[in-house]
Amino acid sequence: MDTRKKEASQAPRIVLGSSSKWRRAVLNDICKELGLNSETIITISPDIDEKGIRDEDPEKMVMTIAEAKAEEVVSKIDSHPSIVICSDEIILYQGKVREKPENEQECIEFLKSYNHAPAEALTSVVVITTNADKQKNVKRAVLCKAKQHFHSITDQVIERLLKQGDVMYCAGGFASELMTECHGELEGQE
């Protein structure tokens, strides 16, 4: 076999451990910036019980969930060298953890509450590289924090967001990208 073909066949692939279209879009943007072909990214849903992972420290909890997702995805892949990327996000509102809303009413309550106090996003990203023997070579984890203040989130905005539907699958019941008209000050990392 030609050496270049062998090297190309063993070049690490990118595996996104998520079913989130938002995370896929972010990774596509990063690939575009780096001149990489985002069409070769493999997506695998980790399918873990996130609610079964709890910690009193929200930062530890969000990191532990992302790590569990990454370990689960690594267990599902074949022996091709891979770069596995997993993430998790929770929202803190006045010190209380908010994950995906349980129902539409809870989502409405979440959205209305952001008129009174900001939402703090805690986002963790875990990257694990594997070799052809599925041995983990490198594991990196990072935690980012951002506090989003909002101007008035009106009933019309809430109705539009619920009709669109994505907010039901987002931590804290909001998708910042869909509510830019409501954005106030952003503190921290985006």
Q: How far is CA 40 from the centre of its chain?
A: 19
Instruction: State the sign of the Cα–Cα–Cα–Cα dihedral 134, 89, 184, 112.
Output: positive
Instruction: Write the DSSP symbol of residue 12.
Output: P
Q: Find residue 128's DSSP bridge partners.
A: 84, 139
Q: How many CB atoms lie within 10 A of CB 89?
A: 21
Q: Which residue is listed with tokens 């993430």?
A: 87
155 catalytic, yes or no?
Answer: no
Q: Catalytic residue among 2, 29, 78, 88, which? A: 88
d(CA 5, CA 121): 43
User: Cα(7)–Cα(16) distance, rounded to whole angstroms?
Assistant: 22
Q: How far is CA 69 from CA 19, 47, 92, 106, 168, in A?
A: 11, 8, 21, 26, 20
End-to-end CA, the chain: 45
Q: Catalytic positions, please?
A: 88
